[in-house]
Amino acid sequence: MKASNMFAPTLREVPADAEIISHKLMLRAGMIRKTASGVYTYLPLAWRSIRKIEEIVRQEMDAKGGQEVLMPAVQPAEIWQESGRWNVYGAELWRVKDRNGRDFCLGPTHEEMISMIFRNDVRSYKQLPQLWYQIQTKYRDERRPRFGLMRSREFIMKDLYSFDLDEAGLDKSYNLMYDAYNRVFTRCGLNFRPVEADSGAIGGKGSHEFMALADAGESAILYCDTCDWAATDEIAGREPLPVEPEEMLPMEKVDTPSCGTVEDVAKFLSLPTNRIVKTMYYKADEQLVIVLVRGDRRINEIKLQSLLGCNELELADNASLSTGGQKVGYLGPVGVDKIKIYADNEVPLMYNVVVGANDGERHLLNVNYQRGDFRIDQTADLRYLEEGEQCPHCQGHVKLARGIEVGQIFKLHTKYSDSLHVNYTAEDGHERPVVMGCYGIGIGRTLAAVIEQSHDDDGIIWPMPVAPYQAVIIPVNDRETELVNTAENLYTELIAAGVEVVLDNRQERAGVKFKDADLIGYPVRITVGAKALARGNVEVRLRQNGEMQEVAVAEVKSWLQDYIAAEIAKCSIN
Ligand code: ATP
Ligand code: MG
């Protein structure tokens, strides 16, 4: 490609509406342009990288026996009504009507669609297992589209679905995909980590998210500094540590004026926050419930919602408390009789705690569940695990990192085969529900994550396997025939050798070309200048570390081929 013809509208200014580095750099490097909120055009440079990521994904899916298909983005409402998700999915489902008023949606995912294909054409156990995948555009009318390709409303996803005879088969498919995902993200040059993830309403163990580690990540990951345990903060938890028994002291009511928070109470009573039990009122589908948690802990609403099995969950405000006008901050469980009380696992083990007194600005001291001072209807793990706590699996300690979810794999078991009646005829002649799994990779989000991890003040630093081009040739002066000819000849030679190279033949100052080269992030810059050329050399500069060296013109091709091969090998996996 010659830069004079290349459509890469680079920008010197940082665009105002871009918050994170990858978004800024993709706009500045002329890779993407916004069409509407969360809807983007991929310009040539982005599209080249996207196609490379897709190719890596294809190779790894195919290697595990995946077969590529392409399903429509437009899906009839009926299949979503059949699975029950037409209502459950809510506003994120992008609904459309055809000219006859029939309902459709633009697919946010394809479990229903692929189940239908299976249901219509697969009959016998002899045809199983099957692994079908596609690389296709998805639509989700996200509440907060942002960060460019990271969270958009139209985006490219690879989604694979596995169909197996039984749970053992599913385990096998899941493990194949777990391995394939590790290979994909390694080959994309990402620093990532698979973590145990929430499997939502489906329950049971059986989901991992693949997290690219980056400060801009929207997800929090907890991991052990000693063993290899890691999980998202949504599900990370541990058994409560044993508590030293204490003598249960007599309960006492004390004034605690203007103490609206746990910290205020602790300070006023000169106690640590872990001696206090927080009492929170929640509205779960209009039903009021109480949740108790140690004062220094945070309630994990994802765990709470999955325990309660409700669709809507929100903190109840003052007005909706049916507690006789009690103030938030002074609520407690003692004497409450009509409302269901849920407690985090740590609460019933605690001695002599402080709780709100439900009586003006007062608290109760020395409250003991074990003495029957208050009631708990159900205990469960309802809190976030915190950095610094002991690892759930070993003596190590928990650390916190931020991550970008680039992929997720999921055991669906028979969730969809049950609701959509997707069966096969088993060897014994009986109809059985097929056991399914689903596995997604965000292609655009992966690209954004690569840039998020690999850049400097001047621009993008591509890992070789996903770089839009591998090298750029810059003649420093476009009026000197010898330089221009050398650059042209080198370009022709490299193209013939299969190197993905750009010749920057624009009528621009060298400084402009260098700036663009750094911004776009070509892994290798080959500068053709008079001084080095007098010695028969060109100057080769590596984008990743700025190292420069002279290479004889005749050697450039083999030097470059070796370098490219070595860089790709760095991202390979056995
Ligand atoms: P998130 O929690 O970030 O909303 P999700 O868990 O809903 O994502 P999945 O249904 O697991 O996403 O989709 C598979 C993959 O598709 C994700 O791992 C992510 O890489 C990508 N993805 C999901 N939503 C978006 C989006 N709005 N924009 C870009 N990529 C997305
Ligand atoms: Mg996910």
The protein residue whose alpha carbon is closest to atom 11 in ligand 1 is 408
CA 551-554-556 angle, to 5 degrees, is: 50
Topology of the domain comprising 469-570: Rossmann fold (3.40.50)
| 157 ligand 1 Cβ < 6 A | yes
Average pLDDT over residues 377-404: 96
In sign, the C-alpha dihedral spanning 131, 135, 136, 141 is positive
The pLDDT of residue 311 = 83
Position 218 pLDDT exceeds 80: yes
Average pLDDT over residues 560-568: 98
Q: Based on the number of CB atoms within 10 Å of its own CB, is 559 exposed (0-12), middle (13-18) or buried (19 or more)?
A: middle
Q: Where are the beta strands (DSSP E) in 203-286?
A: 207-213, 219-224, 230-232, 252-255, 277-284
| 198 ligand 1 Cβ < 6 A | no
CATH topology identical between 252-380 and 469-570: no
Q: Where is average pLDDT lowest: 197-211, 282-296, 443-457, 539-553?
A: 197-211
pTM of the full structure: 0.90
State in Å: Cα 156 to ligand 1 middle.
10
- List 132's β-bridge partners, or say none: 67, 161
The pLDDT of residue 312 = 86
The pLDDT of residue 54 = 98
Position 257 pLDDT exceeds 80: yes
| 383 ligand 1 Cβ < 6 A | no
> Is domain 21-188+415-452 classified as CATH 3.30.200.20?
no
Tell me which ligand sits closest to the C-alpha of residue 218.
Answer: 1
Question: Where do the domains of the chain lie?
Answer: 21-188+415-452, 252-380, 469-570
Tell me which ligand sits closest to the C-alpha of residue 445.
Answer: 1
- List 442's β-bridge partners, or say none: 157
From the CA of 149, give the closest atom in ligand 1.
Answer: 29
State in Å: Cα 36 to ligand 1 middle.
19
CA atoms of 255 and 268, how far apart (whole Å): 10
- The distance in angstroms from the start CA to the end CA of the chain is 33
| 195 ligand 1 Cβ < 6 A | no
Average pLDDT over residues 264-282: 96
| 152 ligand 1 Cβ < 6 A | yes
Position 202 pLDDT exceeds 60: no
Mean pLDDT computed over every residue of the chain: 95
The protein residue whose alpha carbon is closest to atom 19 in ligand 1 is 442
| 148 ligand 1 Cβ < 6 A | no
Residue 18's φ and ψ, nearest 5 degrees, are: -95, 125
The pLDDT of residue 165 = 97
Q: Where are the beta strands (DSSP E) in 321-397?
A: 340-344, 353-356, 362-367, 378-380
| 468 ligand 1 Cβ < 6 A | no
| 140 ligand 1 Cβ < 6 A | yes
State in Å: Cα 546 to ligand 2 middle.
37
State in Å: Cα 144 to ligand 1 middle.
13
CA atoms of 19 and 27, how far apart (whole Å): 11
Tell me which ligand sits closest to the C-alpha of residue 159.
Answer: 1
Average pLDDT over residues 526-550: 97
Alpha helices in 356-453 (DSSP H): 415-420, 443-453
- List 195's β-bridge partners, or say none: 209
Tell me which ligand sits closest to the C-alpha of residue 184.
Answer: 1
User: Which strands, in side-by-side order, build the sheet including 313-315?
Assistant: 313-315, 277-284, 287-294, 340-344, 378-380
CB 348 within 8 A of CB 370: yes
CA atoms of 12 and 10, how far apart (whole Å): 7
- Residue 567 DSSP SS3: helix
Average pLDDT over residues 360-367: 96
Our mutation pick for probing the ligand 1 site, out of 141, 152, 157, counting the most ligand atoms within 8 A of Cβ, is 157
| 406 ligand 1 Cβ < 6 A | yes
The pLDDT of residue 272 = 97
Please name which of 440, 512, 500 lies closest in space to residue 474, comparing C-alpha atoms.
Answer: 512
Q: Which helix (H) or strand (E) holds 82?
A: helix 77-83
Tell me which ligand sits closest to the C-alpha of residue 441.
Answer: 1
CA atoms of 171 and 278, how far apart (whole Å): 41
409 Cβ contact list (under 8 Å, min separation 6)? 174, 177, 178, 181, 207, 208, 210, 437, 438, 439, 440
The pLDDT of residue 14 = 83
The pLDDT of residue 478 = 84
pLDDT > 90: what percent of the chain?
92
Position 134 pLDDT exceeds 60: yes
From the CA of 441, give the closest atom in ligand 1.
Answer: 15
Average pLDDT over residues 145-163: 97
Our mutation pick for probing the ligand 1 site, out of 408, 438, 441, counting the most ligand atoms within 8 A of Cβ, is 408
| 445 ligand 1 Cβ < 6 A | yes
CA atoms of 7 and 62, how far apart (whole Å): 33
State in Å: Cα 290 to ligand 2 middle.
30
| 189 ligand 1 Cβ < 6 A | no
Residue 72's φ and ψ, nearest 5 degrees, are: -70, 155
pLDDT > 70: what percent of the chain?
98
Tell me which ligand sits closest to the C-alpha of residue 197.
Answer: 2
The pLDDT of residue 195 = 95
From the CA of 140, give the closest atom in ligand 1.
Answer: 27
> Is domain 252-380 classified as CATH 3.40.190.10?
no
**Tokens 């750029």 appear where?**
472
| 408 ligand 1 Cβ < 6 A | yes
The protein residue whose alpha carbon is closest to atom 1 in ligand 1 is 405
The pLDDT of residue 205 = 65
Q: Per residue in 61-70, pLDDT tens?
A: 999 999 999 9
| 440 ligand 1 Cβ < 6 A | yes
Q: Per residue in 275-330, pLDDT tens?
A: 999 999 999 998 999 999 999 999 999 999 989 988 889 998 765 665 556 778 89
The pLDDT of residue 41 = 98
Our mutation pick for probing the ligand 1 site, out of 23, 93, 445, 452, counting the most ligand atoms within 8 A of Cβ, is 445
**Tokens 């055009």 appear where?**
41
| 403 ligand 1 Cβ < 6 A | no
User: Which strands, in side-by-side order, build the sheet including 103-106?
Assistant: 74-76, 103-106, 94-97
The pLDDT of residue 328 = 80
The protein residue whose alpha carbon is closest to atom 31 in ligand 1 is 442
Per 3-state DSSP, the chain is made up of helix, strand and coil in percentages (nearest 5) of: 30, 30, 40
Residue 150 pLDDT class (50, 70, 90 cuts)? very high
| 138 ligand 1 Cβ < 6 A | no
State in Å: Cα 442 to ligand 1 middle.
6
Please name which of 321, 322, 334 lies closest in space to residue 362, comparing C-alpha atoms.
Answer: 334
Position 510 pLDDT exceeds 90: yes
| 405 ligand 1 Cβ < 6 A | yes
